[in-house]
Structure 1
């Protein structure tokens, strides 16, 4: 989101430690795990886009990219193939998180600074037909929807990281019944559902302490488990995250310019890459032409970077 770029621009070169203090109940703080982060390399896949907020692989050879406008309007859902071909997948206004399910991509729209600070409910979840590009509204009346996840019942969770009520919102598959989820977590941003653990992982951006929360979807009213990062939260500016095929959570630290791997069961952590200014989102490759063992990262600078172990 563009406001994060403005707020942390002068802090992007801050040299922060990435030690974690683990706050999972009944579990001691774990030591850094250097083995899991050894020999990761990085290479630029693409550049020259506008500010990129999020990404997802469509399973058909395309990488979908949420491209936003710094002026607060416009933007769109771009598509990039492994051979470098680019095109507009759909004209989604101010897009945010993306979720792929079968032949559809679900995308947040209305993820703007103005909507956040004025508390304007003009955000939506829209579906994009991957074959035709046709758009349909799934849910409306949302405040600045940023991150997006879909749960096993077909319902959605959206995050919000600015404004008077910057918490998670859960809506049914048909877009009805919007209500807050785990309101203990504030300034929420990245979302990733882990089907193996049946937990929803969420990052916080502007809290004084950066938190990765773990919500048990079978007991949504229970207090979320937490993994916290030391230091002033906005200096990390934790952005989007994903759960890898190894079960670890990979987190983009926007202001710190790092991607961190953390084992949510033990708390073991390590930095897999740094020197990635304004990194926003990470996903493992999926579909024709994309390496499933590589992690792909977007940035506000309009780049897509491949991280390979």
Structure 2
């Protein structure tokens, strides 16, 4: 069944599947008119045109977040997998165009989310229990807590932390993005929702429900079009 569209953001005919495969898509990024997907269980990053046409696949063990750096190159977390395999190396590769290890030997965190802040610094690990996605607005960092009874996002400014709670039971918040309106757009893996959140007040409402394990959301730069990846293998395209 298609996802349920809720009043207040996405038109009922403005969503469309871009791509579907029997795999776990964990994250995504855009580059020169194409979209890159991290195929977590397929151990690869994949490039497609925005109409869904396949371009290439590059082997990479358990990829997580893909982000474009200030140098215009793509940076990909790898080693984002189960606790049983975390003694294996993890880190960040840079696609140039083949993967080269940029940060390696990280056997502690197997970080999933990542974000370049406005200074060009890659933020990928925070000293908080169970962080997942990461975004920045100015000097403020926002991270989802993937295991939290109140489905919390933590806002961090300097040494101050503020919880934005989306409510019980635990929705399994996965990744998040900043939209063109300055709001946070959050994927809830367990509850199958896409949630819009005011980053300063915590006010929120559900844009889409009935999704099957959404993992990440990103906006095509300069547009109001978003793409949502799913652990069920779907990549959904929607326009605000």
TM-score range, shorter chain: 0.7 to 0.9
SS at match of 1:224: strand
Distance 2:34 2:214 in 1: 20
Gaps of 5+ in 2: 1-5
Contact map agreement 2:75 2:94 (CA 8 A) in 1? yes
Does 1:104 pair with 2:73?
yes
SS at match of 2:154: strand
Q: Which residue of 1 aligns with 2:37?
A: 65
TM-aligned CA deviation for residue 306 of structure 1? 1.2
Distance 1:49 1:88, change over 3 A: farther
- Pairwise CA RMSD: 2.1
Q: Which residue of 2 aligns with 1:214?
A: 155
Does 1:50 pair with 2:19?
no
TM-aligned CA deviation for residue 135 of structure 1? 1.9
Where relative contact order (Cα < 8 A, 6+ residues apart) is larger, the structure is: 1
Q: Which residue of 2 aligns with 1:193?
A: 136
Aligned pair count? 231
Which contiguous aligned blocks of 4+ residues in structure 1 show a shift greater than 3 angstroms?
Answer: 38-41
Distance 2:60 2:153 in 1: 28
Q: Which residue of 2 aligns with 1:301?
A: 232
TM-aligned CA deviation for residue 201 of structure 1? 1.1
Gaps of 5+ in 1: 1-33, 159-168, 170-180
Does 1:150 pair with 2:91?
no
SS at match of 1:96: strand
Q: Which residue of 2 aligns with 1:4?
A: none
Q: Which residue of 2 aligns with 1:25?
A: none
Contact map agreement 2:18 2:51 (CA 8 A) in 1? no
TM-aligned CA deviation for residue 258 of structure 1? 0.7
C-alpha distance after superposition, 1:136-163 (max 9, x if no partner): 21112323121111223433222xxxxx
Does 1:122 pair with 2:89?
yes
C-alpha distance after superposition, 1:187-240 (max 9, x if no partner): 111111223xx2111001113332111122xx2xx131210122132xx11001
TM-aligned CA deviation for residue 78 of structure 1? 0.4
- Give 1 or 2: higher helix fraction: 1
Q: Which residue of 2 aligns with 1:90?
A: 58
**What is the 5 A alignment of 1:236-255?**
236-255=171-190
Larger radius of gyration: 1
Contact map agreement 1:90 1:128 (CA 8 A) in 2? no
